[in-house]
Each structure stands twice: as C-alpha cells, then as structure tokens.
C-alpha cells in the first residue's frame, strides 16, 4: 500500500529521489485551478475585469507561459522581471510595470518593449516618465498608485487618513497631482491603483478601499479626468496551516461587484474596469518544498531540533517576518505513526528556524519533509547565503514532472567572481 504523501497526484518521496533535495515542486494544475476560481468569479458577475498576476511571487519562463496561456496579465516590478517576461515572449501589451523607485533604465526598457501600462508611484516619477517618453516619441498608459489610508493584514485593518508608507500618493495629494499632469503630453492616465496589504483573509478591507477609491474617482471626474480603470491590488490570503481559512474569492468578487455597482449608481460614476493583482493566491498553494532530514538533536526537556538540508536560503520568510508553515513527513503519512513535537531548523549558520513546534510523526535521518504552501515568495526570495546553491524547481502537470529551473551548481556559486589584476 502506497502511503507516501501525494502532492497534485505525485508521490513526493519519488520526486525527492528523482531530483534530489531540497526541491521546489510546483503544480501547474493547482495554479490553473486558482486562477480559474478568480476568472469564474468575475465571469459570474458579468464584470469588466482584468487579472494581473504579481510576478514577484514566482517568475520564470515556464511560469510566464502558464500565465500567458490562461489569458492573464502580468505585473512586473523590475528590469529583471520585465526581461523575464520579454524572454518568454509574453504579450507586452499585457505587462504592467510597478515599483516605488523605477530607474531610468527600467523606464526606457518599458518603452522599448512597448508594455501596456506603468503604475506611477510619485510626482517625480510622473515627470520622469513623461520626459523619457517625450525623448522616445511615445505616449504611455498610466495608472496612479494611491495610498488610500486603509492598511490590512490578515483579519485586521486600519483606516486612517494618514498612512506611513513609501508606496503611493497620499489621498489628499491626488487631485493636485492630476492637476499637475495636465501639462504632461506623453502620458495618458487611465486609472487609479492601490494595494492595501498581503495575506488578507476578510473581504471587508477591500470593500472599504473600493469605496474610498470610487469617491476619489468621482472627485477627479468633477475635475475633468475620466478614468476607466480601478486596480485594487493583490493581497488575497491563502491557508498557512492545513486547517486555516482561505480567502473566499467567489464571495469577495460578488460583494465587490455589488458594492462597486451600488456606489457608482449613488455617485453617478460609470462602473470602471476592475483589476486585481493576486500573487500569493495564484501560486502559494501550488508549491511545496521537499527536504531531507539530517541531524535530529534532543535537548532534554527543552526541545527537539530536526535539521533539514535547506533553510533560510530557500525560504527566508520565517526569519524575515515570522511566517508560519505547515509540514508533512512525506514517507510517514499514516495516522497511526507515533507523534512528537519538534522544531524544524535549516542548515544555515543562523538560528534559522523554519517551523517552531510542529507535531510530526517520530522522524529519523533520511526522512523526507514536505513543507506546504511554499509556491509564493520562496524561490523568489531565495539566496546563496553560506554559498548554498539554490534548489531546482520541478513543474508538475497531470502525471508529468519536469525541471523548469535547474539546481545551481558550485560552478554557479563562483561564476561571477573576478580577480583584480594584482592577484593574477
Ligand atoms: C506584492 C504586490 C501584489 C501581490 O501581493 P500578494 O499578497 O502576493 O497577492 C500585488 N500588487 C502590488 C502592487 C504588490 O506590491
């Protein structure tokens, strides 16, 4: 009887044996399911909408192709992400450039590639973009990022007029910015953008934000600016632990569209196109990381440390902001296994705790640990700290499995090093 942990219908122990560990495993089927949920929710509401996958969560050529095939648009935040999309022959009119401090080089790239839109984050950037577009005889479509005074994290949100954030134009300065934009001939402002946080589980903060933004659109309309697009950003949460609640996209889109339609009719505003930018929701649950367990160290009456062959280099999120993860011993899935509470540590020369106090079957060196929901912001945030090569990424589709990012080698580790002339 097969008792190994199956992820997207694949035997994870067999994957670990075939490709080695640590290993990122990404399911194309789950990515498609996640995006389909959002597409279906908008379709059901008969909405005019766009989905922009936030590429920063996980981006490579194969991922670009999946997004392209699903008819979804793509957010990029740097020249590197833009280049990745370009190399994947992603349709550039569906690319949107973000960032709170875009460089001149990145703006030129965006113009050269003829991307669909730039989300402008400051007055300085608006002028800079206009000037560079003028040099290139180009008119760029633009949305203005607003700091709407709503900030949300998981179940809580705060609403204040003044948010301390490096992102966006404070609500009170938006009308002045639009007034200033009148003289800028090489930009075409078509909408507003905001992004209120990440890993949000309740829809309430999004609905409050939509109201704030629609009222602003109404004011801008009175000032003579007709905007057709309202981008409410990403932030849809995923279950972190196995039994956690997930963001209910269907319910959210239903409430959002009825809220938007009600407010628009109250304030006599045409219903704008609604844009969302799901990063984590698209790919978070579509990924797991497989590790091999090595040292198991018991400190009597204190803690049992279980070490894996990866750590903060492939998943810095627990160290960065205390993110929590769930895990399964892939080769010990029977409920009858004896359980114990352990702490999962990485191998880096830092305390490098991946999971504090998790109940698992009694583990031994050589067991395979699957850490769940690592599809978003894991590979994307990985590093070579301690000169540890990055793991490979395997993509699953149906019963197929293939490498989409190869494992780094020790040659890769020194590939960029150069010797100064006096050492040669
Ligand atoms: C990070 C980010 C997103 C994606 O956030 P998720 O929480 O991954 O959905 C979307 N839009 C903007 C502007 C972002 O900065």
Kindly list the domain boundaries of the chain, sorted by start residue.
Answer: 6-25+285-406, 28-282
Domain boundaries 28-282, corresponding CATH code: 3.20.20.10
pLDDT (tens digit per residue) in 362-375: 999 999 999 999 99
Check if 64 is active-site. Answer: no
Compute the distance from residue 227 Cα to the ligand 1 centre, in Å: 22
List Cβ neighbours of 77 (8 Å cut-off, separation of 6 or more): 55, 56, 97, 98, 99
Which ligand 1 atom sits closest to the C-alpha of 119?
13
- pLDDT tier at 2 (50, 70, 90 boundaries)? low
d(CA 147, CA 162): 9
Q: Where are the beta strands (DSSP E) in 217-268?
A: 229-231
Whole-prediction pTM value? Answer: 0.96
Ligand 1 lining (C-beta closer than 6 Å): 54, 56-57, 75, 98, 195, 198, 233-236, 277-281, 376
Q: What is the mean pLDDT of residues 7-28?
A: 98
List Cβ neighbours of 53 (8 Å cut-off, separation of 6 or more): 35, 67, 72, 73, 74, 75, 277, 278, 279, 282
- pLDDT tier at 147 (50, 70, 90 boundaries)? very high
The predicted structure's pLDDT at residue 160:
62
Which residues share a beta bridge with 320? none
**Which strand (E) or helix (H) includes residue 176?**
helix 174-181
pLDDT (tens digit per residue) in 263-317: 999 999 999 999 999 999 999 999 999 999 999 999 999 999 999 999 999 999 9
Asked if pLDDT for residue 103 goes beyond 80, the answer is yes
Which ligand 1 atom sits closest to the C-alpha of 277?
10
Counting ligand 1 atoms within 8 A of each CB, the residue from 34, 53, 198 with the most, and so the one to mutate, is 198
Alpha helices in 290-400, H assignment, sequence order: 317-321
CATH superfamily of 6-25+285-406: Lyase, Ornithine Decarboxylase; Chain A, domain 1 (2.40.37.10)
């Amino acid at each position: 009887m097969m008792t190994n942990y199956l992820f997207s219908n694949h035997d994870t122990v067999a994957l670990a044996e075939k490709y080695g560990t640590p290993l990122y495993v990404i399911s194309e089927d789950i990515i498609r399911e996640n995006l389909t949920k959002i597409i279906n929710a908008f379709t059901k509401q008969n909405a005019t909408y766009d989905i922009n996958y936030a590429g920063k969560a996980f981006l490579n050529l194969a991922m670009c192709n999946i997004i392209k095939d699903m008819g979804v648009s793509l957010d990029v935040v740097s020249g590197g992400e833009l280049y990745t999309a370009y190399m994947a022959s992603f349709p550039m009119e569906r690319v949107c450039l973000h960032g709170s401090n875009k460089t001149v080089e990145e703006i030129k790239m965006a113009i050269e590639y003829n991307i669909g839109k730039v989300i402008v984050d400051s007055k300085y950037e608006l002028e800079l973009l206009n000037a560079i577009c003028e040099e290139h005889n180009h008119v760029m479509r633009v949305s203005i990022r607003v700091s709407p005074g709503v900030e949300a994290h998981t179940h809580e949100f705060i609403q204040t007029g003044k948010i301390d954030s490096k992102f966006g134009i404070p609500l009170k300065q938006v009308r002045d910015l639009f007034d200033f934009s009148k003289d800028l001939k090489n930009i075409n402002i078509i909408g507003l953008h905001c992004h209120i946080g990440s890993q949000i589980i309740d829809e309430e903060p999004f609905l409050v934000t939509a109201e704030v933004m629609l009222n602003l659109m109404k004011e801008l309309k009175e000032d003579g600016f007709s905007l057709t697009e309202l981008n409410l950003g990403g932030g849809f949460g995923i279950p972190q632990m196995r039994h956690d609640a997930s963001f209910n996209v269907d319910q959210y889109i239903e409430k959002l569209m009825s809220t938007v339609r009600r407010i628009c009719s109250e304030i006599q505003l045409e219903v704008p196109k609604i844009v969302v930018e799901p990063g984590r929701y698209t790919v978070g649950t579509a990924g797991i990381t497989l590790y091999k367990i090595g040292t198991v160290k018991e400190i009597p009456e204190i803690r049992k440390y279980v070490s894996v062959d990866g750590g903060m280099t492939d998943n810095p999120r627990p160290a960065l902001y205390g993110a929590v993860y769930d895990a399964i011993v892939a080769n010990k899935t029977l409920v009858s296994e004896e359980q114990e509470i352990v702490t999962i540590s990485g191998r880096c020369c830092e305390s490098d705790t991946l999971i504090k106090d998790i109940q698992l079957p009694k583990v031994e060196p050589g067991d395979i640990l699957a850490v769940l929901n690592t599809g978003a912001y894991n590979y994307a945030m990985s590093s070579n700290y301690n000169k540890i090569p990055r793991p490979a990424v395997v993509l699953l589709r149906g019963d197929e499995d293939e490498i989409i990012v190869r494992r780094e080698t020790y040659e890769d580790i020194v590939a960029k090093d150069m010797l100064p002339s006096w050492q040669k």
